[in-house]
Amino acid sequence: MAIIFHEKTNTFHLTNKDVSYLIRIMENGQLENLYYGKALKDREDFSYMHEEGMRSQMSINVPEPGMLSMHYTRQEYPVYGTGDYRSPAFTVLQENGSRISNYVYASHSIFAGKKSLEPLPSTYVESDGEASTLEITLHDQITDTDLTLSYTLYENYPVITRNARFLQKGSEKIVLERALSASVEFIDMDYELVHLSGAWSRERYVKSRKLETGIQGIQGLNGTCCGAEFNPFLALKRPDTTEFQGEVYGFSFVYSGNFLAQAEVTTFDMTRILMGINPEGFAWELKQGESFQTPEVVMVYSDQGLNKMSQVYHRLYRTRLMRGKWRDQARPILLNNWEATYFDFNEEKILNIARKAKEVGVELFVLDDGWFGARNDDYRGLGDWYVNLDKLPDGISGLSRKVEELGLKFGLWVELEMVNKDSDLYRAHPDWLIGVPDRFESHARHQHVLDFSRKEVVDYIYEMISKVIRESSISYIKWDMNRYMTEPYSRGAAPSEQGMVMHRYMLGVYDLYTRLTTEFPDILFESCASGGARFDPGMLYFAPQTWSSDDTDANERTKIQYGTSMVYPIVSMGSHVSAVPNHQLHRTTSLATRANVAYFGTFGYELDLNLLTDNEIEQVKEQIRFMKEYRELIQVDGDFYRLLSPFAGNDTAWMVVSQDKQTAVAGYYQRLNWVNASWYRLKLKGLCEDTLYEVSYDTTPDTPINLELEAAYGIRANNNPRKTYQAYGTELMYAGIPIDRDMLKRKSMDFASLIFEIKKVNE
């Protein structure tokens, strides 16, 4: 097993070929975090890694003449109030009003495999040999409460997952006011904190800042999702760490609700990382025999830079977090009608768009918002999940079968957690809203949040939408969520239970997802939240792809998709070619560049193909042919490499390389054209050094050529737009591919791009 317990020194060593994690049972029975980092050779005694010494104003946690102080000790799961003056991982309120606790070692178990955390989402194994798990049970004698800390080490990944579980065995009631999932301590502060933040239409921008003394971190407090503002991920990297060299520690939270991700640096330069459910508004009551399970934190260590950390998350999340039929399959190329019609459609208009989609090679047609209730705008209808027969006289059942008769699969948009006050559902059940009686209920997008902490609400929505699905032929569901939670209060919960509402809400969402994915296992679910506000690992457990952003502008999408790739696999990114001028930015980019960005995701279209020119239709056909050829590589088989950051300059580049290193596809994107530009070469990654590759790319102008302008500037005609040459892997990685900026200027106005196809030459 990869987890060893050294009984003489009371030390646990979690180790594989990449990583080591050391835990020691201290003299006071609590747990010390001795080391986390690159793999160490195992030995009996690592106690020399414990530091202690007399300091002023130091509280001692062992009898004299001991020197053990919790404030200067790297702890596994710290608590406030007994000499540690930093932020705690947990707080337990007792009946006498005390928050002082003392959880000491009671027992441990080491076993092959990994336990499920259901109903919470979590990573998993398919055989016991893939991972080993350590469970350490601590006990507080006064309250008679068990606290079990769980650690799973994956055999072939530098991955350790963490969670905690409280079990109240005693007769008195306790209240968990804080119950985070993991705490990790580092002896120094020489790190930069990396996280993903933004807002609607600019989600998951990469942010980095140097750690300083004090508290720095991110959080989500919107109740219903992780949010567009901050993603439940952070990393610590050394200042000299780059994409491809140096140390980095990643922390990713498998949860979709309120979260806290925090780094705290002491005046002695020690750094504590905390991650878990946000304690704001959280209070979980436990009576005798009741337990509380925290969600999972996935920790990844890399000594080969940020890109290696990302590749580990990609492979783990794609194969051991996503589940079901679609986990290992490339995704269908779809067309969504939203930006083509918005609410203004009828059956014939929809079928007309679908016919054109079939003509160009699209495989799945998706009907977006506006098909149900009195939904002709966003003021009404949410919650009434029955078909608007004025628009669709044969219902979803009839439309879905007509679309299938065209040779396409059919998909449907829903927003199951929300309700408009102008709806039959609200008129029948006004108490089903999240909100405080006799206080104003804030609205957003003219809608309110249904109380999914109540089982009867989840049951009602499940019965309504499952009836639609059962009666129709549906292959895909886009599950949207267009507002955050306000006035978090449940009319169905007792006053003492209001601190449970937000977490119970997420359990209700997970329950509905579980029921629908269990009854309809062949449906491909895509999560969405006003764009990319619910892009988190918890959602990927149920829906293996997420709409990355409502912003479909190709230039902005390079930033969004680049940042998203820090944690999430390419196949999880919903990415479409939309109409121009772009509906969010009113910017025009070429059809070629829009596709060249969207290839690195699920790929699809969000426009009315009937409005394109004949030349553009031919381009679309070629784009779909290309994606069908390479989607297994891009979405399932390949490893993703970030080459040039859109946050660092005018250029963006990335690539995907097959596992056998015989095939690769690289994308290069230039934001603005250069005048009289200098030479530049794009250096690739991940190829086999001694392999001879053929490189090909298309330099055809994205827009019709202005012959008079070209003649005036003496630009030569491009008689051979397809460029092809051969080079060894060493050349492509260390010398690079020459980028002809004059060609790019001729190829496009601003926002030019190139796709490089790289294939092994059979010598």
Cα(388)–Cα(395) distance, integer angstroms: 7
Q: In what order do the strands lie in the sheet with 722-728?
A: 639-644, 651-657, 663-670, 752-760, 692-698, 722-728
Q: Are 597 and 558 in contact (CB under 8 A)?
A: yes
User: Scanning the structure block, which residue is given the tokens 């920790």?
Assistant: 299
Range list of β-strands (E), 239-361: 248-254, 259-265, 271-277, 284-286, 291-293, 296-302, 334-336
16 φ, ψ (degrees, to nearest 5)? -140, -165
Amino acid letter, residue 97: G
Cα(628)–Cα(163) distance, integer angstroms: 40
Handedness of CA 582, 586, 590, 595 (dihedral sign): negative
Amino acid letter, residue 104: V
Cα(306)–Cα(298) distance, integer angstroms: 16
Neighbours of 194 (CB within 10 A): 21
Handedness of CA 470, 472, 474, 480 (dihedral sign): negative
Cα(560)–Cα(230) distance, integer angstroms: 13
Cross-strand partners of 655: 641, 666
How far, CA to CA in Å, does 125 sit from each of 1, 113, 569? 15, 7, 18
Cα(491)–Cα(372) distance, integer angstroms: 27
Residue 480 appears among annotated catalytic residues: yes
Of these residues, 480, 551, 651, 702, which one is catalytic?
Answer: 480
- Helices first, then strands: H and E counts in the chain: 14, 39
Nearest C-alpha neighbor of 121 from the set 601, 524, 569, 517: 517
Q: Can you read off the two tokens belonging to residue 154?
A: 């994956």
Q: Are 165 and 116 in contact (CB under 8 A)?
A: no
Cα(197)–Cα(563) distance, integer angstroms: 9
Nearest C-alpha neighbor of 12 from the set 123, 128, 115, 107: 107
Rounded (5°) CA angle 582-653-529: 45
Q: Are 530 and 481 in contact (CB under 8 A)?
A: yes
Cα(123)–Cα(125) distance, integer angstroms: 7
Handedness of CA 119, 297, 122, 139 (dihedral sign): negative
Handedness of CA 572, 578, 584, 587 (dihedral sign): positive
Cis peptide before 239 (omega within 30 of 0): no
Cis peptide before 581 (omega within 30 of 0): yes
Of these residues, 303, 536, 550, 651, which one is catalytic?
Answer: 550
Nearest C-alpha neighbor of 79 from the set 98, 62, 97: 98
Helices 591-598, 554-564: crossing angle, 10 deg rounding: 10
What residues act catalytically? 480, 550
